[in-house]
Structure 1
């Protein structure tokens, strides 16, 4: 990046959030970073630089989020890039998961993101500039994963609200990008970031197999490099005309291509029925 910028990053104590924070500070940018624990965040970042503002935030509390955003603006004067990275995975079939389990996942992954967006937009609109980057997932584009229905639902929601957000804020010079990673070698599949259902039903053998595969085979063997992934997101933040959608990883690219192919197949196979519902159709 040619100029230093001010970043606001959620979920910065591990994974992509921590890696982006490290790379940005190393490059001379200012970072206001949030986590559920300020102590853990500070220890993970390993710096006491004046360009680093660690913030302990409950993303489900709008007033707590607003306070953190205000502190970031008071400290650095403005905001350039807001990265909604915080989130966690919830495994379990839709029949298995309780209302509380499902709502908690939505509270963090969707409403936490919404809370941050609401809090930063007054500043970005005043500036007539800014870039909001929402971290989604390939599971927000294709949902064919047994046992990941609620998580996929949260990420599909992030995709939808982000597309609408982009249309709403374009008039203010604000950019929006949705990042959809595939499997990256972060802590996402560890117990700290992935929650299993409390009520497992024996009938759902494919879901149990998915749990086992993710914990015993995929975890620790993900093909994506988080250092490269974080660098790619940072690169997008320095692009004059950033994309609305950014896929990360060959696996994400392949799965998105399959989703588009499947959608096109169904569209063409049922085109006659689709078009027959118009009032003007004889």
Structure 2
């Protein structure tokens, strides 16, 4: 199979048929073998009914239905697990991503040997204040922190080689940082393509300003995981050593001062240096404990279930 198109969605019943027909037209005109995977992330409208109807008309349409809303990352994780195509294309279901971009994305993966190609919505049709400016700030911070030089981390239109999606673990709200996850997994050939962005035709956006706050918090998480995910003691142990050195330095100063320089002076416990020494040593101990716990958690083999599938639709 040439291409798997993975489409996470939430309450997009108005756009699904049009999106399906558009994708099928592109696939047929380019003679691609394909599958379309719709992942219904707990929709409360008629999205699943539309997907079921499309699967009866087109055996290349498959669907996954979550029992409730688990989030876009979990939807992508489920789609990646089922995808069979040599190249996996992700796109949103709101018709803002253009399926006409698929052939060129496919060629960039198969002929130019990119591991991953991310879309760049250079010209956007979103609100400048609520989306464009926060998005630019977010993308700048993501570039600086991750070292991945992309202009648009948030673009849902991306292409992956099958090997990439089978070797990365998308969890939490890390769908924004799949290129960073791919880089950390050793897939370094990451490209970018300017893609056409279209105004939303049906419904309204499911994301508000809180996604940028969550995005920055996730950015800190992925920075920590990429730098210290496999060696947390290196970070917490270093901070613990610094705290201990500070505490020991003040303690040594207080001891020398009390024993030799000013034996008749104030009690050690009445001096501010004593409290600084005590606090830094306690904090240092806590850092060491955090590092040990991180190492223990890292070595545990517990698996977390990220989502519950209510139905899986595959009539092929």
TM over 0.5: no
Instruction: Give the TM-score of the pair, scaled to structure 1.
Output: 0.35
Higher relative contact order (CA 8 A, sep 6+): 2
TM-score, scaled to structure 2:
0.32
